[in-house]
Structure 1
Amino acid sequence: MTRARVTLTFLAASAAAAAALATVPAQAADAGALGACAELVGQAPGSADLRNDCGVPIEASVAVTGQADPACVPIAAYGTAVVRWEGDGTAEYAYDC
């Protein structure tokens, strides 16, 4: 290939990669399309603090060691919430419901 053809090929590939990385406006996307939005940001005995990293409302919960997971709680876009449970289990990770 000539240097000009290599340069044009590289530029075309770069443009295609940039287009693939374009973000969807948060208002136009739903939580399912965004993937995992819930984040475990803290915990205490019987409770965990969750954060919604997405621009849409979600419901989320945590996986608790040694017992059933607590009910899902609503979290506003970019908001936080607390999920609570009975017992000594520890929150392992957060997940979207």
Structure 2
Amino acid sequence: MSQITVTGAPSRYVQGKECISEAGAHIAKLGNVAFCIGGKRGTACVHDSLVSSCGEAKVALTFELFLGECCLSEIARLQANATAAGANVIVGIGGGKSIDAAK
């Protein structure tokens, strides 16, 4: 018998020009303390707009640098830091491995 894996995740994907300016409203539907995982460049691109948008939506933010590899030790580190921050929603910034880690 093969093993079946089921993963649950919010069914919300938002894409489009300037959509980061609306991110706070979308994030607020999921939680009010967001733990943001991303690389240096991706985070730098959205940081100010995300802080502004989440501030308007009353969502607290913690930013955490993704260290580059989506492995068990990195996931454990991110999970521990998200728990310590009191996060109730995870936000992935960037693409590829950082998004995989956020998932």
Fold shared by both chains (TM-score > 0.5): no
TM-score normalised over the length of structure 2: 0.24
User: Larger relative contact order (C-alpha < 8 A, sep ≥ 6)?
Assistant: 2
Looking at secondary structure, tell me which structure has more helix per residue: 2
Looking at secondary structure, tell me which structure has more strand per residue: 1
TM-score normalised over the length of structure 1: 0.24
